[in-house]
């Protein structure tokens, strides 16, 4: 028999001229999930282990500290933890002494005051500290503004807008005319 006969599935004839019968196939054999896996010792991985950690106390929390955990392959459970460990959070109970009485509301809106009251409050305050001449210069400026308000203001007859050239036209007419 040649190489191609084996590849194409040809069977070798037995002495007698008839092809040989295939041997009886054994029944299919399947492994259960634990035996077929390649994870190692599955029973060792499934069992839970108890781990005990001990810690020394600190100045703020003296005494020996202990933490006991039960650890399995897929979960862990904290069985015991001494108060004062870093990962342990203690629930603090808040005691309400008011007995349900609400707190009064604070007023947060501004009150309006008059100009005179504002000036009175600003006397002696640090309003004019960084002004050249200090508080004396501010006082002098206030006196000048009060005197200017007492005198009548001289205004031109026509109110002109910025950029208006009508006054120049009037002067040109006076010079030429």
Report pLDDT for 96: 76
The single-letter DSSP state of residue 58 is -
| Residues 56-87: b if buried by 16+ CB within 10 A, e if exposed | eeeeeeeeebebebeeeeeeeeeeebbeeeee
**In-domain check, residue 177:** no
* pTM of the shown model: 0.30
Angle 76-39-72 (CA atoms, 0-180°, nearest 5)? 10
* pLDDT tier for residue 155 given thresholds of 50, 70 and 90: low
* pLDDT tier for residue 104 given thresholds of 50, 70 and 90: confident
C-alpha separations of 95 from 99, 102, 105 in Å? 10, 15, 22
Separation of alpha carbons 44 and 73, rounded Å = 9
**In-domain check, residue 96:** no
**In-domain check, residue 56:** yes
**In-domain check, residue 61:** yes
Return all residues near 68 (Cβ < 8 A) that are at least 6 apart.
Answer: 50, 51, 52, 53, 78, 79, 80, 81
Domain that holds residue 71: 48-81
**In-domain check, residue 55:** yes
Residue 174, pLDDT > 60, answer: yes
**In-domain check, residue 167:** no
* pLDDT tier for residue 126 given thresholds of 50, 70 and 90: low
Report pLDDT for 51: 92
Q: Which of 49-58, 69-78, 119-128, 141-150 has the lowest mean pLDDT?
A: 119-128
**In-domain check, residue 2:** no
**In-domain check, residue 67:** yes
Tokens 């005051």 sit on residue: 113
Q: In the predicted model, what is the mean pLDDT of residues 131-155?
A: 70
State how many domains the chain has.
1
C-alpha separations of 175 from 84, 163, 170, 172 in Å? 100, 22, 9, 5
């Amino acid at each position: 028999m040649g190489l191609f006969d084996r590849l194409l599935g040809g069977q070798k004839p037995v002495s007698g001229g008839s092809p040989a019968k295939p041997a009886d196939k054994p029944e299919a054999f399947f492994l259960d999930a634990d035996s077929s896996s390649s994870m190692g010792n599955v029973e060792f991985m499934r069992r839970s282990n108890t781990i005990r950690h001990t810690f020394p106390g600190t100045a703020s929390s003296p005494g020996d500290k202990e933490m006991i955990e039960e650890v399995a392959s897929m979960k862990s459970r904290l069985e015991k933890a001494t108060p004062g460990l870093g990962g342990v959070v203690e629930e603090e109970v808040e005691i309400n002494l008011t007995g349900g009485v609400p707190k009064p509301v604070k007023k947060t809106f501004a009150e309006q005051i008059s100009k005179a009251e504002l000036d009175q409050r600003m006397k002696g305050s640090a309003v004019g500290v960084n002004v050249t001449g200090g508080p004396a210069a501010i006082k002098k400026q206030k006196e000048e503004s009060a005197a200017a308000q007492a005198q009548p203001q001289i205004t031109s007859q026509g109110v002109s807008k910025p950029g208006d050239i009508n006054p120049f036209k009037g002067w040109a007419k006076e010079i030429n005319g």
